[in-house]
């Protein structure tokens, strides 16, 4: 099949994004993408070594941004604990608003990661983010006890299961294509629910 004028890696990515969103990674073939672009499958492989390499090119920049957001949130939380501003730890309005802004600026990419990534190294990304948060919480608890907080002993497995359930709940608005306004109401409601539970469990 002759290549149509204007075929570039950027065009391949734009078309592949739509096909992955419609069919998921596992339901998409390189031939489908090639046909939609208007070139041969070998023409796709000149730019991307594999289907996963193509998928990675779509989501890797987003993954890096998510890492940066998580690190910034971790540093802010550490600073709050250091200054004993524990009430601010539970004030989620700012982080929820900023996170939703980021998600809706990158909605297709988030949808790819959360709904379409089975069969790639990105599958279970939500649980992996939750596990990262679990590590932070479990590391922080002994430090808070040393500061005088009466926090009961809690198994790491318990924290992990609750954290995974929390993050799985949070991303449901992406799976269900909520509008930004609907997501704002949903995430604040879910956040209030989980915050109340964590505060009751941790005692502060």
Q: What is the residue-level pLDDT of the chain in tens, covering all 204 positions?
A: 444 445 589 999 999 999 999 999 999 999 999 999 999 999 999 999 999 999 999 999 999 999 998 888 888 777 777 766 677 777 788 889 999 999 999 999 999 999 999 999 999 999 999 999 999 999 889 988 888 888 999 999 999 999 999 999 999 999 999 999 999 999 999 999 999 999 998 888
Q: Per-residue pLDDT tens for 45-94?
A: 999 999 999 999 999 999 999 999 888 888 877 777 776 667 777 778 88
User: What is the total residue count of the chain?
Assistant: 204
**Token reading at 203:** 């005692």
CA distance 165 to 197: 12
Considering only CA atoms, which of 8, 108, 12 is closest in space to residue 54? 12
Give the whole-angstrom CA distance, residue 137 versus residue 139.
Answer: 5
The pTM assigned to this predicted structure is 0.86
pLDDT in tens, 69-79: 888 888 877 77
CATH, range 9-45: 1.10.10.60
- 53 token code pair: 């390499």
Measured CA to CA, the distance from residue 138 to residue 135 in angstroms comes to 5
DSSP tag of 2: P
The Cα–Cα gap between 78 and 106 comes to 27
């Amino acid at each position: 099949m002759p290549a149509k004028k204007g075929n570039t890696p950027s065009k391949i990515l734009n078309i592949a994004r739509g096909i992955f969103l419609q069919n998921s990674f596992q339901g998409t073939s390189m031939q489908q993408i090639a046909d939609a672009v208007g070139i041969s499958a070998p023409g796709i492989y000149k730019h991307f070594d594999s289907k996963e390499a193509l998928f990675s090119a779509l989501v890797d920049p987003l993954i890096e941004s998510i890492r940066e957001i998580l690190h910034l949130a971790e540093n802010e939380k550490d600073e709050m604990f250091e200054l004993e501003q524990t009430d601010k730890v539970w004030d989620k309005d700012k982080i929820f608003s900023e996170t939703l802004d980021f998600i809706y600026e990158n909605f297709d990419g988030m949808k790819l990661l959360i709904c379409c990534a089975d069969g790639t190294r990105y599958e279970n990304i939500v649980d992996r983010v939750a596990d990262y948060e679990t590590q932070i919480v479990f590391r922080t608890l002994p430090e808070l006890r040393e500061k005088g907080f009466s926090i009961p002993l809690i198994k790491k497995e318990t924290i992990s299961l609750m954290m995974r359930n929390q993050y799985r709940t949070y991303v449901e608005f992406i799976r269900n294509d909520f509008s930004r306004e609907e997501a704002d109401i949903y995430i604040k409601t879910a956040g209030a629910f989980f915050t109340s539970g964590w505060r009751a469990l941790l005692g502060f």
